[in-house]
């Protein structure tokens, strides 16, 4: 899968994604990240890509034409029209399901805006998906694009090893992660929960499931609405709700 990022800050995106799991996946050729500098498509002698807003007001607006020509160049070799994500606080809020859906694409294009926005007409022409990463305002689309690329890449087959596999992590079964411990066995008078030292795999699995449920109820109770619990988990949840039964 190839992520194409249209941005005014290509170094920022490249630097941020070449580490750890994504760096390994890129070296293995499973994913690619290609950045293009929108400024290279300016026809202005000063390489300007922004201009004053019609109707007045503060700030500058990114002009349609450099973005359109950047996009046309980027997609000229593609046989199929790619999905194009515009990062914006007014988009649909990104989640794990969207990460899985996007991971099925062969090519995915991100348009990172800056200044006060982007000329609406180029958005109408090229954008297929408007996406936000949460209800707060950032200075540009680069950090959100990097967040999305990390989450999407992890869902591409072959990126995670079996050991790293997302299946047991937060959100994959709809519950939050259970607590983890490593050596030493006692740290500042705090022992590791006994069951984890027992070597009893079924008991450990049950303990982890119960701690996932506890944590989800404590931190994100609204997630509980959408989880499908197996028999044992459902029974544990009922035992919490009806402690006398």
Is 41 or 86 the residue whose CB approaches ligand 6GU more closely?
86
Distances (CA, A) of 16 to 9, 70, 113, 167, 205: 11, 22, 18, 25, 36
* Nearest to ligand 6GU of 25, 85 (CB atom): 85
Q: How far is the CB of 19 from ligand 6GU (least distance, A)?
A: 22
CA–CA separation, 113 and 62 (whole Å): 7
The smaller minimum CB distance to ligand 6GU, of residues 10 and 144, is found at 144
Pair of tokens at residue 239? 């035992």
- For 28, the token pair is 């293995």
Q: Which is nearer to ligand 6GU, 130 or 171 (CB)?
A: 130
Minimum distance from residue 9 beta carbon to ligand 6GU (Å) = 13
> Is 67 or 237 the residue whose CB approaches ligand 6GU more closely?
67
Binding segment toward ligand 6GU, per CB under 6 A, in 51-59, 136-144, 206-214, 229-237:
136-144
Note whether 89 binds ligand 6GU by CB under 6 A.
yes
Checking 17-26 for CB contacts under 8 A at 24+ apart, the result is 17/146, 17/149, 17/150, 21/153, 21/154, 21/159, 21/160, 21/164, 22/149, 22/150, 22/153, 22/159, 25/153, 25/156, 25/158, 25/159
From candidates 80, 136, 162, 182, binder to ligand 6GU by CB under 6 A: 136
For residues 91 to 130, the per-residue mask of contacts with ligand 6GU, x marking binding by CB under 6 A and - elsewhere, is x---------------------------------------
Q: Say how many residues touch ligand 6GU, by CB under 6 A.
A: 13
Q: Supply φ then ψ for residue 7, to 5 degrees.
A: -155, 160
Closer residue to ligand 6GU (CB): 137 or 218: 137
**CA 116, CA 50: separation in Å to the nearest integer?**
10
Long-range CB pairs of 216-224 (<8 Å, 24+ gap) are 216/175, 216/176, 219/176, 220/176, 223/174, 223/175, 223/176
**Does residue 87 bind ligand 6GU (CB under 6 A)?**
yes
Please, which residue, 9 or 178, has the CB nearer to ligand 6GU?
Answer: 9
Q: Is 88 in the site for ligand 6GU (CB under 6 A)?
A: yes
134 lies in the binding site for ligand 6GU (CB under 6 A): yes
What is the DSSP code string of 106-145?
A: SEEEEE---TT-B-HHHHHHH-SEEEESSSS--SSSHHHH
Return residues touching ligand 6GU (CB under 6 A). 87-89, 91, 132-134, 136-138, 140-141, 144
């Amino acid at each position: 899968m190839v992520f194409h990022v249209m941005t005014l800050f290509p170094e920022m995106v490249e630097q941020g994604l070449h580490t750890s799991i994504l760096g390994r996946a890129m070296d293995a050729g499973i994913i690619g990240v290609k950045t293009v500098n929108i400024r290279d498509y300016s026809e202005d002698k000063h390489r300007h890509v922004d201009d004053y807003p019609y109707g007045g007001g503060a700030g500058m607006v990114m002009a349609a034409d450099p973005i359109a020509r950047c996009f046309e160049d980027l997609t000229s070799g593609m046989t199929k029209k790619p999905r194009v994500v515009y990062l914006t606080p007014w988009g649909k809020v990104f989640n794990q399901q969207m990460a899985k859906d996007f991971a099925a694409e062969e090519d995915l294009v991100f348009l990172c805006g800056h200044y006060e926005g982007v000329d609406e007409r180029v958005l109408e022409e090229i954008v297929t998906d408007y996406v936000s990463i949460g209800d707060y305002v950032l200075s540009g689309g680069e950090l959100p694009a990097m967040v999305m690329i990390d989450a999407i890449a992890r869902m591409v087959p072959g990126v995670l090893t079996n050991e790293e596999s997302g299946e047991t992590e937060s959100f994959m079964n709809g519950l939050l992660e259970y607590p983890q411990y490593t050596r030493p066995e006692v740290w500042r008078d705090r022992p590791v929960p006994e069951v984890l030292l027992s070597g009893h795999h079924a008991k450990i699995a049950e303990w982890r499931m119960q701690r996932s449920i506890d944590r989800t109820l404590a931190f994100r109770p609204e997630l509980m609405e959408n989880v499908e619990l197996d028999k044992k988990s459902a029974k544990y949840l009922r035992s919490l709700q009806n402690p006398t039964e």
